């Protein structure tokens, strides 16, 4: 189902709350691709999504590893592809096992996944409008729980 949503937030807490609201719509095999410059709020939003998925451990940007794994009501795989140097490097990490597996994949710097990114990924773009203001656009074809129109 075609799904579009736009949200403007005015604090990190509000962004996290929005993430929590998105979580019920994510199911086994959902891939969420995050786009947006440094500091646009990708990790912040992911923290909220993880909370909504029942993850209790702290969620931080996986700075020195490419993938962090958490356990919520589903396995959650948090990717940060900022430092990926080639598609082959990502492929070698076994990304397809994750992308086409039964957990939820949350991918920061998703543009770096190129054609490895599944076509039916939910796409989330963040834009910094001011110091504390972010615009978040969600686009996809998935069934997303309470937001399904």
Which candidate, 70, 45, 77, places its Cα nearest to that of 56?
A: 70
Given candidates 9, 30, 68, 121, which one binds ligand ATP under the rule CB under 6 A? Answer: 9
Between CA 85 and CA 32 the distance in angstroms is 21
For 10-132, strand residue ranges (E) read: 31-35, 67-71, 75-80, 104-108, 122-130
Report 19-48 residues binding ligand ATP (CB under 6 A): 36, 38-44
Which candidate, 69, 84, 137, places its Cα nearest to that of 114?
A: 84
Stretch that binds ligand ATP, among 5-13, 69-77, 83-91, 96-104 (CB under 6 A): 5-13
Residues ≥6 apart with Cβ < 8 Å to 112: 81, 82, 84, 90
In the complex, the smallest distance separating the C-beta of residue 115 from ligand ATP, rounded to whole angstroms, is: 22
Which partner in Mg ion, ligand ATP, none is near 145 (CB below 5 to 8 A by kind)?
none
43 binds Mg ion (CB under 5 A): yes
Between CA 9 and CA 35 the distance in angstroms is 16
Report 104-123 residues binding ligand ATP (CB under 6 A): 108
Which partner in ligand ATP, Mg ion, none is near 60 (CB below 5 to 8 A by kind)?
none
What residues does 31 pair with on adjacent strands? 105
134 binds ligand ATP (CB under 6 A): yes
Write out the residues near Mg ion by the rule CB under 5 A: 42-43, 61, 108
Write out the residues near ligand ATP by the rule CB under 6 A: 9-12, 14-15, 36, 38-44, 61, 108, 132-134
């Amino acid at each position: 189902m075609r799904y579009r949503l736009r949200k403007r937030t005015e604090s990190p807490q509000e962004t996290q709350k929005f993430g929590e609201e998105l979580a019920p719509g994510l199911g086994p095999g959902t891939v969420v691709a995050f786009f947006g410059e440094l500091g646009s709020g990708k990790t912040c939003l992911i923290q909220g999504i993880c909370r909504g998925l029942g993850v209790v451990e702290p969620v931080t940007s996986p700075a020195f590893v490419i993938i962090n794994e958490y356990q919520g009501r589903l396995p959650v795989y948090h990717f940060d592809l900022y430092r990926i140097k080639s598609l082959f490097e990502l492929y070698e990490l076994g990304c397809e096992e994750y992308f086409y597996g039964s957990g939820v994949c949350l991918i920061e710097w998703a543009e770096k996944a190129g054609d490895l990114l599944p076509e039916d990924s939910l796409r989330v773009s963040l834009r910094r409008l001011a110091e504390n203001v972010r615009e978040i656009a969600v686009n996809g074809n998935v069934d997303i729980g309470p937001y399904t129109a």
